[in-house]
Amino acid sequence: MKVYILGSGIGGMSCAAVLANKGFEVTVLEQNSYFGGKAHRISEEGFVFDTGPCLLTYPDWFNELFNACGKNLKDYFHYQRLDPITRYFLDNQHVNVASDINQTAINFENKLGLKKIVFLNYIKRWVRIYKISEKIFLLNELKFNFFFLKNAFVWIFKAGVINIFTSVAYYNKVLKNKAVEKIMNRFATYTGSSPYKTPAFMNQLAVVEMINGGYYPSDGIHSISKALFKLCKDVGVEFQFNYKIDNIKYESNLFKIYSKNEVIFSKYLVSNIDYYKTQLLLNRKINRKKLKLSTSAIVFYWGVKVKSSNLELHNIIFSEDYKNEFSQIFDHNLIPNDPTIYINITSKFDQNHAPENCENWFVMINTPANLNVASQENIKRTKDFIISKVKDKVGINLSKSIIFEKILTPKSLENNTGSFNGSLYGDNQNSLMSIIKRKKNRDYKLKNLYYVGGTVHPGGGMPLALRSGMNVAKKIIDEN
């Protein structure tokens, strides 16, 4: 059986590997000259940057994929558990989220004044809810059958009805500690959503990192893309690069995939392209005014002649008014004037990612999914703000230390990866309905058309994209 997969992101390659290992003839069509999608790499002037995702979670899922293909993960890439996971800068101090939840609770008590027992009781509740959610929503395709309904009722009982209709930020007021509230609110951004809108049960996202752990793969996140590409090649997947799709039609029970060079016919088609971009390729209409997209981003890839002592691999410098930041993004379609700043420095672990006495700074802020928002004026204003904030909060003067720079904007994100309007995760999850209506892995009309990746079920981020690919592959295998 022949299967074509459009796009070589994490979801596309995981799906391809599982199918090929089961004897399917799989070809991946990729518009770029490289694989990996958002998880690509910049390597210039002695600096190395992962272009997109920065934190590895759910390493067991990756191990499951390689095992399913009869391979040993350790033969493809290595990773280590992080401790600390993230350093947060709040007001005039910083605090670490540690590998061990008890140490994190101690850090919160010593630095931020929240009693250890209060935080541990808080997180225990979300661990219970998360365990049910993982079984229902993440590991398998969503099916509204008896199994789903039975577990959904248990989930609602555990989560509490009120937490379906109130926001993450509203719930977190129970902590009665502004600093810890802000840290816990941040996890809503993992879905490109606002903590002041997304339902409170999304607090369970904190469990993924704080309990299950954060990890760093040797040589950075792109080593995962390389490992998946090698796995695909080892099980017989064919790749065709620089292969841009212009149009898709469905006639006589076959997909006709048009490119500038040829027309390909296929019974099965898996799209690892952004869901809405795929709809456009199918000549379907999109009501752009009704779309409620996730955040996009501006990323500065800075090579800096600095050796920082008070920054970790992952760092967050919070805005002074977190609520206003998200209001500007979602309500006013603006780049925040005081954005929260994320800084990732892989040269802390891999010294070859920067020249001697230098570091590679991946610096990101959240923006609306808007192709026109990152004007030259707005980019300059944002850059000046970040430099000023880093000097104030971290004590590092970057004004004359940046010796290399590349910039990712919503527009370049769409151009490079096909992300519709630069949206990182497709639809946002700012309401219960948007979560329920998250795009499914199978097309609503064409039964042999499937979707994988971060814009469809089960969600955004590398592990969920991986899981989407595995789920779709299983579905195709079971039906043949």
What's the pTM value of the predicted model, to 2 decimals? Answer: 0.94
Query: CA dihedral defined by 439, 440, 441, 447, rounded to 10 degrees?
Result: -120
Query: Do both 176 and 150 map to the same domain?
Result: yes
Note whether residue 75 is domain-resident: no
**299 and 407 within one domain:** yes
- pLDDT tens sequence across 62-103: 999 999 999 999 999 999 999 999 999 998 899 999 999 999
pLDDT for residue 438: 87
Give the Cβ contact number of residue 363 at 10 Å: 24
Total number of domains in the chain: 3
Same domain as 225, residue 192: no
Beta partners for 89?
94, 317
Residue 135 inside a domain? The answer is: yes
Q: Indicate whether 23 belongs to any domain.
A: yes
The CA–CA distances, whole Å, from 122 to 96, 128, 172 equal 18, 11, 9
Are 191 and 285 in the same domain? no
Mean pLDDT of 472-478: 96
pLDDT digits 0-9 by tens, 18-74: 999 999 999 999 999 999 999 999 999 999 999 998 999 999 999 999 999 999 999
Instruction: Say if residue 316 is in the same domain as residue 272.
Output: no
In a domain, 437, yes or no: yes
Q: Give Cα separations from 350 to 35, 49, 108, 290, 401 (angstroms).
A: 22, 11, 29, 44, 20
The answer, yes or no, to whether residue 463 has pLDDT greater than 80, is yes
Q: Which domain holds residue 334?
A: 295-417
**Can you read off the two tokens belonging to residue 90?**
């709040």
Cβ atoms of residues 348 and 54 within 8 Å = no
> Which domain-ending residue is among 210, 230, 264?
210
Tell me: the pLDDT tens digits for 183-198?
999 999 999 999 999 9
Residue closest to 27 by CA, chosen among 266, 215, 372: 266
Domain final residue pick, 183, 210, 237:
210
CA–CA–CA angle 274, 275, 277 (5° rounding): 65
Tokens describing residue 422: 């630069």
CA distances from 49 to 42, 339, 347, 359 (A): 5, 22, 9, 10
Would the pLDDT of 136 be above 70? no
Is there a single domain that holds both residue 179 and residue 327?
no
320 plus 360 within the same structural domain:
yes
pLDDT digits (tens, 9 = 90+) for 300-316: 999 999 999 999 999 99
Q: Does residue 350 sit in the same domain as residue 203? A: no
Q: Is residue 126 part of a domain?
A: yes
User: Residue 162 has what pLDDT?
Assistant: 58
In a domain, 60, yes or no: no
Q: For residue 260, what pLDDT band results from cuts at 50, 70 and 90? A: confident
- Check residue 132 and give its pLDDT: 72
Q: Is residue 216 part of a domain?
A: no
Using one digit for the tens of pLDDT, what is the confidence trace for 298-354? 999 999 999 999 999 999 999 999 999 999 999 999 999 999 999 999 999 999 999
Domain holding 251: CATH number?
A: 3.50.50.60
Instruction: Please give the Cα distance from 95 to 256 (Å, whole number).
Output: 55
Indicate if 140 and 156 belong to the same structural domain.
yes
Q: Are residues 406 and 302 located together in one domain of the fold?
A: yes
Answer yes or no: is 15 within a domain. yes
Q: How far is CA 298 from CA 34, 159, 382, 413, in A?
A: 22, 34, 9, 9
Q: Tell me, yes or no, whether 437 and 410 share the same domain.
A: no
* Per-residue pLDDT, 377: 97
Of 368, 389, 417, which residue sits at a domain end?
417
pLDDT in tens, 208-252: 999 999 999 999 999 999 999 999 999 999 999 999 999 999 999
193 in the same domain as 141: yes
